[in-house]
Amino acid sequence: MTAQLLTGIGELTTNDDELGRLHDAALVLDDGVIAWVGPAAAAPVADTRTDLGGRAVLPGWVDTHTHPVFAGERSAEFEARMAGARYAAGGIASTVAATRAATPAQLGANAARLRREAERQGTTFVEAKTGYGLDVASERASALAAAEVADVVTFLGAHLVPPGIDRRDYLDLVTGPMLAAVAPFAQYVDVFCEEGAFDVEESREVLLAGRRAGLGLRVHGNQLGHSGGVRLAVDLAAASVDHCNHLDAADIAALADSSTVATFLPACDLSTREPFGPARELLDAGGRIAIATNCNPGTSYTTSMAFCVATAVLQMHLTVEEAVFAATRGAARSVGRDDLGVVRVGAPADLQALEAPSVVHLAYRPGVPLTAAVWRAGALVAGGRFP
């Protein structure tokens, strides 16, 4: 494979403790990985040479919470919320109906469209959930569509008890035949532990069944209230608990004392008018955090990790460095990938360059499309036309 030298990097965010943030830096990408990193003045010769003209480079975004397998959209529900209606779990059912009516090709095309949209904005790794099929055939089809577009697939049959089925029967289905049909295509199981969806004991049952099937655990917890999902996730040493809008001091202490990553979803919080989760307090207490888009048609119809990072800085009081870390390496840790979201020799060459001299511009110039180039496993997949 061709070794590519990227030089003229004005600022290089490595997320590596030893390398830190470099200026006037260069990288060599070879065979899909980072083969060299250091000062531009000391860069080795490679097969190709691209001068980034002082632009900032950082790891590609690692989006570890998305629901891209769906049909239809819910802008009317969103409009009603902006006029004062409250978000409730039940809205999921309308997307379930549209998803069941769609063909596998339609579901796949929509998920691929979203993946491509995310990639153009710097996202190089995506987790994708099922959860809008909610019967065995539709959940299996959703998992197949997710596996086509995502790097990690999560089974979310326990998103809602769909209309027309007894609650106990549905739990038996999710933990039995549905899990068996989906587990071969998934790495994680998830549950929406919230009023109107699943309570703590039901959620525990779903998660333990998933664990027995060999899946890692993720939880939607404490989004709309003190659902108990966060404590359940910590009790079961889940990889991630997501939303975390409503945390009390004991929740923060429990998370800080655990290996569970708290994944904050700021775009969702804006779209549902929930209070932002206490990411600042959790970081200060020593907890692990991630930031993700939660791309879905109900509560967060965005693929923009940059928007989430800017919001985390402007509204949740993270520093730019903390927010960028949470949206890259911090998130990667929630899917067991310590090699992602970091720039160091041997790491996958998943990178983005900004139309800016520093990552600070992500929050300083909110809403401006700053992605200048995106590389995935060393291949340029978006942008890259440098003057």
Ligand X SMILES: N=CN[C@@H](CCC(=O)O)C(=O)O
Binding residues for N-formimidoyl-L-glutamate: 132, 296, 298
Q: Torsions phi, psi of 292, nearest 5?
A: -145, 170
Query: Contact with ligand X (CB under 6 A): which of 26, 28, 217, 268?
Result: 268
Q: Which residues are annotated as a binding site for 4-imidazolone-5-propanoate?
A: 74, 132, 159, 223, 299
Assess 91 for contact with ligand X (CB under 6 A). Answer: yes
Assess 293 for contact with ligand X (CB under 6 A). Answer: no
**4: helix, strand or coil:** strand
Cα distance between residue 331 and residue 215, in whole Å: 18
Q: DSSP class of residue 42? A: G
CB of 156 to Zn ion, least distance (A): 8
95 binds, among Zn ion, ligand X, none (CB under 5 to 8 A by kind): ligand X
CB of 127 to ligand X, least distance (A): 12
**264: helix, strand or coil:** strand
Sort strands 33-39 and 21-30 into parallel, antiparallel or unpaired: antiparallel
Q: Which residues are annotated as a binding site for Fe(3+)?
A: 65, 67, 220, 294
Q: Which of residues 184-223 bind ligand X (CB under 6 A)?
A: 192, 220, 223
Q: Which of residues 284-303 bind Zn ion (CB under 5 A)?
A: 294
* Site map (CB under 5 A) of Zn ion, residues 52-91, x = contact: ----------------------------------------
CB of 339 to ligand X, least distance (A): 27
**22: helix, strand or coil:** strand
Cα distance between residue 159 and residue 80, in whole Å: 22
CB of 325 to ligand X, least distance (A): 22
**Alpha helices (H) in the chain, listed in sequence order:** 75-82, 92-101, 104-119, 136-149, 167-175, 177-182, 200-212, 229-235, 249-256, 266-272, 279-284, 305-314, 320-326, 329-333, 361-364
CB of 279 to ligand X, least distance (A): 17
Q: Taking the CB of residue 321, how many other CB atoms lie within 10 A of it?
A: 15
Let me know: does 334 contact 261? Beta carbons within 8 Å.
Answer: yes
**127: helix, strand or coil:** strand
Q: Which of residues 55-74 bind ligand X (CB under 6 A)?
A: 67
Q: Which of residues 100-119 bind ligand X (CB under 6 A)?
A: none
User: How many residues line the site for ligand X (CB under 6 A)?
Assistant: 12
Nearer to ligand X, 81 or 361 (CB): 81
Planar angle of CA 359, 322, 357, nearest 5 degrees: 10
Query: Contact with ligand X (CB under 6 A): which of 66, 121, 263, 294?
Result: 294
Query: Contact with ligand X (CB under 6 A): which of 299, 311, 352, 371?
Result: 299
Let me know: does 327 contact 265? Beta carbons within 8 Å.
Answer: no
Assess 292 for contact with ligand X (CB under 6 A). Answer: no
Q: DSSP class of residue 317? A: -
CB of 292 to Zn ion, least distance (A): 9
Residue numbers at the binding site for ligand X (CB under 6 A):
67, 91-92, 95, 192, 220, 223, 268, 294, 296, 298-299
